A and B are shown apart, each in its own frame.
Chain A
Amino acid sequence: MNDIKKITVLEKVFPDNCSGCRLCQAICSFEHEGSFAPWLARIIVIEKDFRETTPHTCNLCEEPVCIACCPFDALSKSSENGTIILDEKNCTGCGRCVRECQYKAIVFDDERMIPLICNLCGGNPKCVDVCPRGVLSLSNKT
């Protein structure tokens, strides 16, 4: 799985640090939900003390904790690009994967009671494209 790509959050300095604009979240929710709803984005921008903001993205772990921790085998790994796939009919909405992900990269949809996980938009991540500060990049997972 050498050519697995993931979204990397680059450490950047002024004026190219993450500004907290949430355009990545707006476009992600638009891509996947057809509406603007940053809380349903598969990229999570966390703000600290009203100041710094950090985007959290799926790490595409080799041995994903989310898959392992799911009591209902609702999660699996795509053999194609290593992203995490949810089998909705098995998911009970317990939220365990969300809590266990150390990258804080899974969001829980309170409405449908399911986790939302990045699928790299089929290889052309919209968030990477939109980020005005160039904070996000799609790069080889090493």
Chain B
Amino acid sequence: MYGWTGKILIVDLSNRKVSIEDTDINLAKKFLGGRGLNSYFLYKEVKNRIDPFDPSNVLIFGAGPLAGTLMPASCRFTVTALSSTTGGHGDANSGGMFASEIKYAGFDNIIFRGKADKPVYLRIDRKGIFIEDAGELWGKDSWDTQAALRKKLGGEEYQIACIGIAGENLARVASVMHGLKRAAAKGMGAVMGSKNLKAIAVKGFKPLKVARSKEFADKALKILKSHIRGDMTLYGTTGGVIPEVKSGYSPASKNLQTTVFEGIKYIDPRILREKYITKVKSCYGCSISCGRLYDVKEGEFSGLDGEGPELAALWSWGTQPQVASLPAILKADVLSNRLGVDCIETGNTIAFAMECYQRGILTKEDTDGLELDWGNYKTVHTLIEKIAKREGIGDILSEGVERASQKIGKGSHEFAHTIKGQSVSSDMRVKHGIVLGYATSTRGADHLRGLLIDDVMPVEYIKKNFGEEALKSKGVVGKGKAVRWIQDITTVPDCLGLCKIFYILSAGYSVFTFSDFAEMLTLATGEDFSASDVELATERIYNVERMFSARTAGFMRKDDTVPERFFREPTDGGSSKGQKLDRDRFEIILDDYYSARGWDKSNGLPTYEKLKSIGLDDIAEDTRKFTDNYL
């Protein structure tokens, strides 16, 4: 095979056995690779409603067919499992140098089954595939783990994905970490910890071939050269906060109680760049290089250094807890990356706890004496550590917003802003496109799939294809189709092993079309892909993920919603001041979305016929068996 390596590694941790299977070309054509194949494998591996930490859960790594090639930003891998936060389909995507290395080791996917009886790590290099003892690594944070492994294995060339202390302690907010800050979040770190799998260290040695290599390289270079520099290089994703600084409007503030944060001017990404950023840092093959190294040279956090931060970190450690200090945010960034917690879920959980404290639901007696007042960055730092260690109040908060609110009780659920158990990172209550994308994403609240249609709109494209009304925040007609299209197009990079920041966010949604991706896929793999083949594959993937979550978590129409607060309380700032989400209009666009997907409006699930029509016969048959239990 070309593009794909043609091999899948199966690691049975319980029996400490590894085996290699061929990548099924028909499956690869149907699900493309990366996230797509992962999702299908997950569907096949986990059949029942199980505890996410049960050894029968699987943890799947997938690098797409373009990962590790000359295709720009072909650096992405997806980690998939039954989610420890939602109980449904869970996956997360990360960049860095790991996806390419998996490919160079000769694998498209790695599937971990079972659970090791004590901590282990997986090593893959020219000498073979080994499940090694990780006793010495247990207890180390993600930076120290990777450094220790490189030292032990004798090479900077080893690329490592691992968990920090949070994953070891089964904090549900834990991520799989790689490099200084690359993270696959959505609770994947906790699943990895539950398997006693501390790390995966890979040093590739198998040259990766593409089919029509000359044409492929020419096209890849053309894309590369057309897309080199911009604000994304200067500010990384934090550039998204610049308009917020200018307007004083922040969609992620004080656990979404307000959209106004006075202190936002102090966390200006432009100050970040001038004062703290020292160098550009890139993922494999990327010309945008949105990663940046930072250094704090003076003050309380003098000596601190790291990579990032991302937009989400400015929200999670800045606007949400109302911390108006860049060095304090950078400290939180380093802590979260080293300990291996997801900044979004963790930051949201801390903001949620702060609101509980504000309202007297939590008191100092519950918080180990900590004052959870807004803006208290010391508390934020302490809580990150407590969460990773599951210590004191951190034990409850490590469960993430949804479960923490259930444990705290006392009406706190009113302030727990989650969708399918995954917390919402920002306030989108007046933006119906985003609301619909969030409500219907297959992995719960999700700022990366089906997002931003109101903000970064490919205006002409949407007008032309879905009608003018689809563009308007409160528009109804065409919304469903537009959101479906965005969800599908954003699925493609996830499957091919490409970076969405490169191909979607910084390029604009309609620059790279299904047909562009199909062309590169064809040149790389030598298999003929048309634009509609690729589009159909993304549709299959959405349907598979949807059916998985229905089967394991019972997610259906009732769960396709957004936090109640958005329907109840109007916003207090910005141009949309005084507005809230209209329930009737929401239900209408939800219907419209199901129509666009061809799903049953009564329950929000794909029908038997629908699944059949897109070539998911096996899943259609399953549906007959299990839907009765849920309907």
Which residue of chain B has the shortest Cβ distance to A49 in the bound complex? B147
Which of the listed residues B210, B228, B289, B291 has the most CB atoms from chain A within 10 Å of its own CB?
B289
Interface size on A, residues (CB 8 A): 33
Whole-angstrom distance between the Cβ of B502 and the nearest chain A Cβ: 11
- Is the CB of A68 closer than 8 A to any CB of chain B? no
Given A15-B233, A21-B286, A132-B224, are A26 and B179 neighbors across the interface (CB < 8 Å)?
no
Chain A residue, CB-CB nearest to B213: A34
B280 adjacent to chain A (CB < 8 Å) = yes
Q: Is the CB of A26 within 8 A of B228?
A: no
| Complex: chain A residue closest to B284, CB-CB | A22
Report the Cα distance A85→B180, complex, angstroms.
39
A33 pairs with B207, CB closer than 8 A: yes
Q: Mark B234-250, 1 if CB is under 8 A from A, else 0.
A: 10000000000000000
Q: Contact: A27 with B70, CB < 8 Å?
A: yes
> Which of A21, A46, A49 has the most B CB atoms < 10 Å from its CB?
A21
B residues within 8 A CB of A40? 207
A30 vs B68: C-alpha distance in the bound complex, in angstroms? 12
Q: How far is the CA of A105 from the CA of B147 in the complex (A)?
A: 24
A38 and B146 CA atoms in complex are apart in Å by 21
Q: Does any Cβ of B come within 8 Å of A81's Cβ?
A: no
Q: A20 interface residue, CB < 8 Å from B? A: yes
Interface residues on B, range: 35 or more
Cβ of A29 under 8 Å from chain B: yes
Other-chain residue from A23, A30, A34, A47 in contact with B156 (beta carbon distance below 8 A)? A47
State whether B289 touches A19 (Cβ < 8 A): yes
Query: Closest chain A residue to B209 by CB distance?
Result: A35
> Which single member of A16, A34, A36 contacts B69 (CB below 8 Å)?
A36
**A14 touching B277 by the CB < 8 A rule?**
yes
| Interface assignment of A94: CB less than 8 Å from any CB of chain B | no
A132 and B289 contact, CB distance less than 8 A = yes
With an 8 A cutoff between CB atoms, is B157 at the interface?
yes
CB contact under 8 A between A15 and B205, given known A23-B285, A49-B147: no
Which one, A14, A22, A36, A130, contacts B280 given CB within 8 A? Answer: A14
Find chain B residues with CB under 8 A from A130 CB: 221, 224
Are B293 and A51 in contact (CB-based, < 8 A)? yes
Residues of B with C-beta under 8 A to A30: 70, 213, 217
Shortest distance from the beta carbon of A56 to any chain B beta carbon, whole Å: 13
- Nearest CB of A to B11, in Å: 24
Smallest CB gap from A134: residue in B: B228
A19 lies within 8 A of B280 (CB): yes
Q: Which residue of B lies closest to A20 (CB)?
A: B282
Is B70 a contact of A39 with CB atoms below 8 Å? no
- Asked if A50 and B143 sit within 8 Å, CB to CB, the answer is yes
Contact B284 A46 (CB under 8 A): no
Q: Contact between B285 and A35 (Cβ–Cβ < 8 Å)?
A: no
In the complex, chain B residues whose CB is within 8 Å of the CB of A62: none
Complex CA distance for A35 and B205, rounded to whole angstroms: 12
With the chains together, A33 CA to B279 CA distance in Å? 31
Interchain CB contact under 8 A, A111 and B205:
yes
24-68 of chain B: CB within 8 A of chain A: 68
Q: For A50, list chain B residues within 8 Å (CB).
A: 143, 146-147, 179-180, 307
Give residues of chain A (120-142) contacting chain B, Cβ–Cβ below 8 Å. 130, 132-133
Chain B residues with Cβ under 8 A from A46's Cβ? 156
Q: Which 7 A-B pairs have the closest CB atoms?
A: A132-B287, A19-B282, A35-B207, A37-B207, A19-B289, A21-B282, A36-B208
